[in-house]
Chains A and B, each alone.
Chain A
Amino acid sequence: MANLKEVVNGEEVTLEIESGVDILEVNKQLARKNMERLREHNVKAIDIMGSIGAGKTSLIEKLVQALKQKYRIAVFKGDLTTTIDAERIGRHGVQVLTINTGRECHLDANVVARAVERISLEDIDLLFIENVGNLICPAEFPLGTEKRVVVVSVTEGPYMVIKHPFTFMTADVMVINKKDLAEIMKIDTEQLKKQVKEIKPDVKVAVTNALSGEGVEELIKALEL
Chain B
Amino acid sequence: MHELSMTTQIIDSVLEEAKKQDAKKVTEVHLVIGKLTFLGIEQVRFSYKILVEDTIMKGSKLIIEEQDGTIECPSCGYKGAIPFADDPAYHVPIPTLRCPKCGKAAKIIEGNECTIRSIRMLK
Q: Which residues of B are found within 8 Å of A20, using beta-carbon distances?
A: 115-117
| Given A17-B21, A162-B94, A199-B94, A24:B37 Cβ within 8 A | yes
A120 on interface, CB distance cutoff 8 Å: no
Distance, CA A169 to CA B21, complexed state (A): 40
Quick one: closest B residue to A203, CB to CB? B105
Distance between Cα atoms of A6 and B23 in the complex (Å): 12
Contacts of B118 in A (CB 8 A): 16-19
Residue A93 CB within 8 A of the other chain: no
Q: Does B47 contact A (CB under 8 A)?
A: no
Give the interface segment out of A51-59, A78-86, A133-141: A133-141
CB distance from B69 to the nearest CB of A (A): 10
Query: Who on chain B is nearest to A28 by CB?
Result: B112
On whether the beta carbons of A199 and B115 are closer than 8 Å, the reply is no
- With an 8 Å Cβ cutoff, the count of chain A residues facing the other chain is 32
CB distance from B108 to the nearest CB of A (A): 7
State the Cβ distance, B45 to closest chain A Cβ, in Å. 15
A61-100 vs B, CB cutoff 8 Å, 1 = contact: the mask equals 0000000000000000000000000000000000000000
Q: Establish whether residues B97 and A200, one from each chain, have CB atoms under 8 Å apart when the complex forms.
A: yes
> Which of chain B's residues has its CB closest to A137's CB?
B1
For the A-B complex, the count of residue pairs with Cβ-Cβ distances under 8 Å equals 103
Determine chain B's interface SS by DSSP, over half rule.
mixed
Residues on A with beta carbons closer than 8 Å to the beta carbon of B1: 105, 136-137
Asked if A184 lies at the interface with its beta carbon under 8 angstroms from chain B, I say no
Q: Which residues of A contact B27 (CB under 8 A)?
A: 14
The SS class assigned to the A binding surface is mixed
| Chain A residues, CB < 8 A from B6 | 23-24
Asked whether any CB of chain B lies closer than 8 Å to the CB of A183, the reply is: no
Report the Cα distance A24→B90, complex, angstroms: 30
A24/B112 contact (C-beta < 8 A), A166-B36, A202-B105 known: yes
Q: Check B103 against A15 for contact (C-beta < 8 Å).
A: no
In the assembled complex, the CB of B73 is this many whole angstroms from the nearest CB of chain A, namely 10
A25, CB-defined interface residue at 8 Å:
yes
Give the docked Cα–Cα distance between A169 and B38 (Å): 13
- With both beta carbons as reference points, the residue of chain A lying nearest to B9 in the complex is identified as A23
Q: Is the Cβ of A198 less than 8 Å from the Cβ of B85? A: yes
Q: How far is the CB of B81 from chain A (nearest CB, A)?
A: 15
Question: Within the complex, which residue of A2, A13, A199 is in contact with B122, where a contact is CB–CB below 8 Å?
Answer: A13
State the Cβ distance, B95 to closest chain A Cβ, in Å.
Answer: 5
**Alpha-carbon distance A19/B1, docked complex (angstroms):** 24
Further contacts, 9 of them, CB under 8 A, given A13-B122, A165-B95, A166-B36: A15-B23, A15-B120, A22-B113, A23-B6, A25-B113, A137-B38, A140-B2, A162-B94, A201-B103
Q: Could you list 26 examples of A-B contacts with CB < 8 Å?
A: A2-B17, A14-B120, A14-B121, A15-B21, A15-B120, A16-B118, A17-B17, A17-B121, A19-B116, A19-B117, A20-B115, A20-B116, A21-B13, A21-B116, A23-B114, A25-B113, A139-B38, A140-B38, A162-B90, A162-B94, A199-B85, A199-B95, A199-B98, A200-B97, A200-B105, A202-B105
Q: Which 6 A-B pairs have the closest CB atoms?
A: A202-B105, A13-B123, A19-B116, A201-B105, A23-B114, A22-B115
